[in-house]
Amino acid sequence: MTEPMPAGPLPSISDPDFTAQTVMDGRSLRVGMRGTADLNTQKALEVFLANVHACAIVRGATTVVMDMRDLEFMNSSCLKRMVNWIFVARAEPTESRYQIVLVPQPKALWQKRSLQALSLMAPELVSVTS
């Protein structure tokens, strides 16, 4: 039997224009994004999302809540990283699969369509709160 991976520190990003922090809340992994995710942060975001996935699996999270209320903007390259993460999550066996909840900022009008598009990548897995 495979030994569980050590839990390790919770993933984060700290960039002058973009930060992402993670906290465990019961069986939910809560991710807060702030600032602008663009060319400057796309590689860091890719690593971050891989770590979020690993963290969710190791800690047995049933939900990952992605709070985007402080996210000013996300470019298409970073959206593509989000899609890749959703596909990785979807590929997990049913028993370890977690739900993804996207929390939008209603005043950020770009988020309405972008997050809708993300949710359509895996409707059975991804939801957007109203």
Partner 1 sequence: MQSTGISGSKIGGAEQGLELALTVSPRTVSTVRRFFEDFVAEAAEGLGADPGLSARVALTVHELLENVALYGEHHHGTLSLSATSVGPRRLTITVTNTTTPEHIERLKQAFREGADGEIDAMTRYLALMCREVRQDESGLGLARIRAEAEMSLSLSIDRDQVRVSATSKPFGQAAGASRGANQ
- Binding-site ranges for partner 1 (CB under 8 A): 17, 36, 38-40, 72-73, 75-77, 79-80, 83, 108-110, 113-114, 117, 120-121
Report in angstroms how near the CB of residue 10 gets to partner 1 at its nearest. Answer: 25
Which residues pair with residue 21 across a beta bridge?
A: 32
Q: Which helix (H) or strand (E) holds 67?
A: strand 63-74
Question: Locate tokens 């990283």: which residue?
Answer: 81
Which residues pair with residue 70 across a beta bridge?
A: 34
Environment class of 33 (CB within 10 Å of its CB; exposed 0-12, middle 13-18, buried 19+): buried
Which residue lies nearer to partner 1 by CB, 5 or 117? 117
Which residue lies nearer to partner 1 by CB, 14 or 76? 76
Which residue lies nearer to partner 1 by CB, 76 or 130? 76
Report in angstroms how near the CB of residue 26 gets to partner 1 at its nearest. Answer: 31
Decide: 66 and 31 in contact? Cβ < 8 Å.
yes
Could you tell me the two tokens for 111?
A: 């988020």
Which residue lies nearer to partner 1 by CB, 1 or 120? 120
- How many Å apart are CA 5 and CA 92, to the nearest integer? 16
Report in angstroms how near the CB of residue 7 gets to partner 1 at its nearest. Answer: 28
Report in angstroms how near the CB of residue 105 gets to partner 1 at its nearest. Answer: 11
